[in-house]
């Protein structure tokens, strides 16, 4: 672990860009390639890279296991919650027009945004949780 100075420094340099790229992919998904699935995987990959370089324990100090395991159902609940809210506003499940009846285009953009956030949270936390589970077994 002493001879990998180059890898460690390069990892530290790359991490902020990876995380910003994940955020870009998430929020620019409406206008270019990307979306919740890709952004979630990229964000998880950034943390996995950190864990590979600096050890699982230091990664768990950054993003603790309990948080990751809470976030998995939270993402599904954000997604499902969007659908339930539109049901309460007298529309069908996941029909985002209900969010703003006067500007349905705005409502659709809001709905897509919320749903993508739900996907992002679920995918990224699931990937991190899976990696933690496998990494924890290895020792």
Partner 1 sequence: MEVLQPILAHFNHWITIFLMVAGLYVVVARGNMIKKLIGLSLFQTSVYLLYISPGKILGGTAPIIGDNIEVYSNPLPHVLILTAIVVGVATLALGLGLVVRINEVYGTIEEDEIFTQEDDDE
Partner 2 sequence: MESLINMVLLSLLAVVTIGVVRLRNLFAVIILGGIYSFLMASVLIVLDAVDVAMTEASVGAGISTVLMLTVLYMTRVEEAKPVHTPMLPIFVAGGTGAVLVYGTWGLPAFGLADTPINTHVGMAYMDLSIPDTGIPNVVTSVLASYRGFDTFGETTVVFTAGIGVLLLLRRGVSLARLRRKQQEEESKS
Interface pick for partner 1 out of 17, 101, 106, 134 (rule CB under 8 A): 134
Per CB under 8 A, which of residues 34..63 are in contact with partner 1?
35, 37, 41
- Binding partner selected for residue 136 from partner 2, partner 1, none, CB under the kind-specific 5 to 8 Å limit: partner 2
CB of 134 to partner 1, least distance (A): 7
Among residues 71, 52, 66, which one has the least CA distance to residue 131? Answer: 52
- Under the binding rule (CB under 8 A), the answer on residue 26 touching partner 2 is no
Interface pick for partner 2 out of 70, 84, 93, 101 (rule CB under 8 A): 93
Distance CA 47, CA 92 (A): 38
**What are 86's two structure tokens?**
């539109």
Nearest 5°: phi and psi at 71? -70, -25
- Are the C-beta atoms of 97 and 36 separated by less than 8 Å? no
- Under the binding rule (CB under 8 A), the answer on residue 19 touching partner 2 is no
Distance CA 20, CA 39 (A): 10
CB of 92 to partner 2, least distance (A): 9
Nearer to partner 2, 60 or 119 (CB): 119
């Amino acid at each position: 672990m002493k001879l990998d100075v180059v890898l460690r420094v390069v990892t530290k340099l790359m991490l902020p860009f990876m995380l910003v790229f994940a955020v870009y992919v998430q929020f620019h998904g409406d206008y270019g390639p990307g979306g919740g699935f890709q952004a979630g995987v990229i964000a998880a990959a950034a943390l996995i890279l950190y864990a590979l370089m600096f050890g699982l324990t230091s990664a768990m100090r950054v993003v603790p296991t309990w948080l990751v395991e809470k976030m998995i159902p939270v993402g599904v609940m954000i997604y499902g919650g969007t659908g339930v809210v539109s049901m309460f506003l007298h529309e069908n499940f996941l029909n985002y027009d209900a969010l703003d009846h006067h500007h349905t285009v705005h409502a659709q953009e809001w709905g897509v945004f919320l749903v993508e956030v739900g996907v992002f949270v679920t995918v990224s936390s699931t990937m991190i949780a899976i990696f933690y589970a496998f990494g924890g077994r290895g020792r």
